[in-house]
Each structure stands twice: as structure tokens, then as C-alpha cells.
């Protein structure tokens, strides 16, 4: 455990005057990641974890390092692959240390800095608190946090890197979480064909099919997939199920209800961003839809009615089905393809540093 240092008000001046050379620096290196203007003005952060380049680079190393897992075989990147917009392409993964199949599809880490509630049900309030879930889950990385601290402190490189980034001598789980959060906050996708068209860059224009698809999207999808983040960061029951009697596995099948215990949240899950949607199959919180056509099938004719079905998909006692024609589906897919950001999927600054 790290020792707490208590400084009494009457001796503050003397303590500061006698500060040892190895004490942490008072301020980190200032750094402001660039953000495309159609997304936001700046990257949201938290006061206790201001940006610095050294923290980001350290977080990147930790993200790709299997040292975070109990058997040193699983890294964050195992289930969050850059070429798939930091998803894994698996409906329900069994790549964790236990080999057991998980109950949730790995969510993408796309523009996660703007998400006020994380995980499919919003169980984590920020990226700092999010990281402990997968690290300690026995079916994911299965790591004991004390053992992780011991491994990192005994590592030939990490102690120096943590001291440079945070000004500390003894590595704790707190700095591990903060470094990982820093890297995940710069996973910013905002340079797709759509983005360049919106910003009037590179003489990019949309085809007729893409423009028709955009209009369909605005009419039928943008209430939940809002703004240029393409999510409202809210939780909705989108009619996947109508039976919520399964309370096994910590009520994991009940959606946000397991967090709020509000019956209105039964079957409600976080609205995922549609950015890079065409490379992040399968879809939904449990990966039940293998491709985008199955998603469109659902919204076109398969929405299930239940008391907690979102009002946006309800008309009295009936579900509002989109009833998309074949031509409309093709146009909508044409537009969704414009949200693929190849720069994000291939940016070397976000890739595995151990392979460079």
C-alpha cells in the first residue's frame, strides 16, 4: 500500500521548502488532443487526471501489454482490436483467461471520452473506473490488483515510465487506471468520408445513394444516434426482447434495470455509436446480429413490444416498425459506409507499440 502523507496547516510552508527531490512534480506536461470541430471543441477529461503525452504513451503500452492479465496472455487489445474500431468481431468472446464464454459483446472504444456512462448498462461513470471491471473479472483478465502492482513494480521498464508520467516511486492500481484512461480518451474517430463532407474538406461529396441514405437516417435513426457522435449516450429498450424473467448471472439479461432497479429500464442498453459501424459486426449487446442486414431486419419488422419498450419505438400498444423497402435499405447502408474512418483504423499512434 502507498503511504498517505498528511501535512498540517501550520507546517505547510516548511514542508514545501524541504521537499525532497524525489517528490512528485507539481504539474504534469500540458497537452490538448486535437478534436475535429464537428465532434466537439475539446476532449472531456477529469480534474484528477489531466492530460500529458507521457501518460498517454504509458497507457498505450499498458493497453497492449498482457501483463495486465493473471496468466500474462490477455491484453486489452485482445478484445479491442484497432482494425475493428476497437471491437473484437466476436459475438460473445471466450478469449479470456478462464476460456468461458462471456455474456456481453465487447463494446467499441470509439470516442469513449464523450460517454458519461460506460459498459452496456452504464455501470461505470468514467474511463478511470471502467478499467477495473475487465482487469479483475475472472472470465476476462482475471488479475489480482495487488499482484499486478507487484509485477509492475518489479518490471525492468515500467517503474521509470510511471515515475516520468506521474512522478511516483511506487506503482499503484490508481495510476494504472489513469494511464489506461488517458489512452482511451484519445481514441477519437472523426475523419470519415462523412466528416470530410461535413467540414467541406478535400472536395469530398456524397453520392446520390449516400445522400438518400443520409435523409433516411435523419428521419428514422437520428433520435437515438444523435449529433456527429452518432449516439445520444442514453439507454433504450429497442425491442430485442419481451421477456425479462431471467435474473441469473447478476441480472445481466435485464439491461440497465440491474443498475437503476427502475422497471422502465428493463431491456434498456446503451446506444452504441454508428461510427465505423460497417467494421464492427456483430451487433447489439450480445452480438446476436451477425451483419447489418439483420439489424435492419429487426428495425424494419421485428421489434418486440413490452411495457418498457422505448417510446420512440411505440405507438400505443404497437411497435413502430420502419418497414424499409429494398431500395431504402441499400441507400441507408450506402450512408453508413461513409462513417468508416480508415485513419482511425490504421493510425500508428494508436497501434501496438511492441510491434513498432
The domain spans of the chain are 23-189, 193-340
Burial tier of 16 (Cβ tally within 10 Å: 0-12, 13-18, 19+): exposed
Evaluate whether 85 touches 106 at the Cβ level (below 8 Å): no
Is the pTM above the cut of 0.85? Answer: yes
For 32, 40, 62, 90, 199, the CA distances from 35, given in Å and listed in that order, are 9, 6, 24, 30, 13
Fold match flag (23-189 vs 193-340): yes
- Residue-wise pLDDT tens for the chain (356 aa)? 333 322 323 323 333 333 333 434 434 567 899 999 999 999 998 889 999 999 999 999 999 999 999 999 999 999 999 999 999 999 999 999 999 999 999 999 999 999 999 999 999 999 999 999 999 999 999 999 999 999 999 999 999 999 999 999 999 999 999 999 999 999 999 999 999 999 999 999 999 999 999 999 999 999 999 999 999 999 999 999 999 999 999 899 999 999 999 999 999 999 999 999 999 999 999 999 999 999 999 999 999 999 999 999 999 999 999 999 999 999 999 999 999 999 999 999 999 999 98
For 233, 340, 346, the CA distances from 278, given in Å and listed in that order, are 20, 7, 15
Q: How far apart are CA 238 and CA 283, in angstroms?
A: 13
Q: How far apart are CA 89 and CA 308, in angstroms?
A: 29
Q: How far apart are CA 167 and CA 22, in angstroms?
A: 8
Q: How far apart are CA 136 and CA 158, in angstroms?
A: 20
For residue 265, the SS3 value is helix
Cα end-to-end distance, the chain, whole Å:
35
Cα Rg of the chain, angstroms: 22
Q: Which CATH number fits domain 193-340: 1.10.3720.10, 1.10.287.110, 3.30.1490.20, 1.10.760.10?
A: 1.10.760.10
Q: Which CATH number fits domain 23-189: 1.10.10.10, 3.90.1150.200, 1.10.760.10, 3.30.70.580?
A: 1.10.760.10
Amino acid at each position: 500500500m502507498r503511504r498517505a502523507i498528511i501535512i498540517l496547516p501550520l507546517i505547510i510552508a516548511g514542508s514545501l521548502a524541504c521537499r525532497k527531490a524525489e517528490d512528485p512534480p507539481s504539474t504534469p506536461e500540458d497537452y490538448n488532443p486535437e478534436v475535429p470541430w464537428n465532434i466537439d471543441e475539446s476532449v472531456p477529461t477529469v480534474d484528477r487526471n489531466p492530460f500529458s503525452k507521457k501518460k498517454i504513451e504509458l497507457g498505450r503500452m499498458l493497453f497492449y501489454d498482457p501483463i495486465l492479465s493473471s496468466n500474462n496472455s490477455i491484453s486489452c487489445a485482445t478484445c479491442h482490436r484497432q482494425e475493428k474500431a476497437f471491437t473484437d468481431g466476436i459475438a460473445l468472446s471466450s478469449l479470456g483467461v478462464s476460456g468461458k464464454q462471456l455474456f456481453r459483446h465487447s463494446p467499441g472504444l470509439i470516442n469513449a471520452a464523450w460517454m458519461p456512462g460506460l459498459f452496456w448498462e452504464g455501470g461505470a461513470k468514467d474511463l478511470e473506473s471502467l478499467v477495473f471491471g475487465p482487469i479483475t473479472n475472472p472470465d476476462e483478465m482475471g488479475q489480482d490488483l495487488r499482484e499486478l502492482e507487484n509485477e509492475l513494480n518489479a518490471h525492468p521498464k515500467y517503474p521509470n515510465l510511471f515515475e516520468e508520467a506521474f512522478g511516483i516511486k511506487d506503482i499503484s492500481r490508481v495510476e494504472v487506471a489513469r494511464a489506461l484512461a488517458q489512452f482511451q480518451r484519445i481514441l477519437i474517430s472523426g475523419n470519415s468520408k462523412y466528416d470530410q463532407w461535413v467540414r467541406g474538406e478535400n472536395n469530398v461529396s456524397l453520392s446520390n445513394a449516400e445522400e438518400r441514405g443520409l435523409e433516411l437516417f435523419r428521419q428514422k435513426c437520428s433520435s437515438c444516434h444523435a449529433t456527429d457522435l452518432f449516439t445520444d449516450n442514453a439507454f433504450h429498450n429497442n425491442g430485442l426482447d419481451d421477456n425479462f424473467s431471467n435474473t441469473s448471472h447478476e441480472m445481466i439479461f435485464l439491461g440497465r434495470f440491474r443498475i437503476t432497479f427502475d422497471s422502465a429500464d428493463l431491456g434498456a442498453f446503451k446506444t452504441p455509436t454508428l461510427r465505423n459501424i460497417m467494421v464492427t459486426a456483430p451487433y447489439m449487446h450480445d452480438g446476436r446480429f451477425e451483419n447489418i442486414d439483420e439489424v435492419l431486419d429487426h428495425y424494419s419488422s421485428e421489434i418486440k413490444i413490452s411495457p418498457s419498450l422505448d417510446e420512440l419505438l411505440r405507438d400505443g400498444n404497437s411497435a413502430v416498425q420502419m418497414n424499409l423497402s429494398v431500395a431504402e435499405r441499400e441507400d441507408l447502408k450506402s450512408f453508413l459506409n461513409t462513417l468508416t474512418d480508415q485513419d482511425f483504423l490504421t493510425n500508428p499512434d494508436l497501434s501496438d507499440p511492441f510491434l513498432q
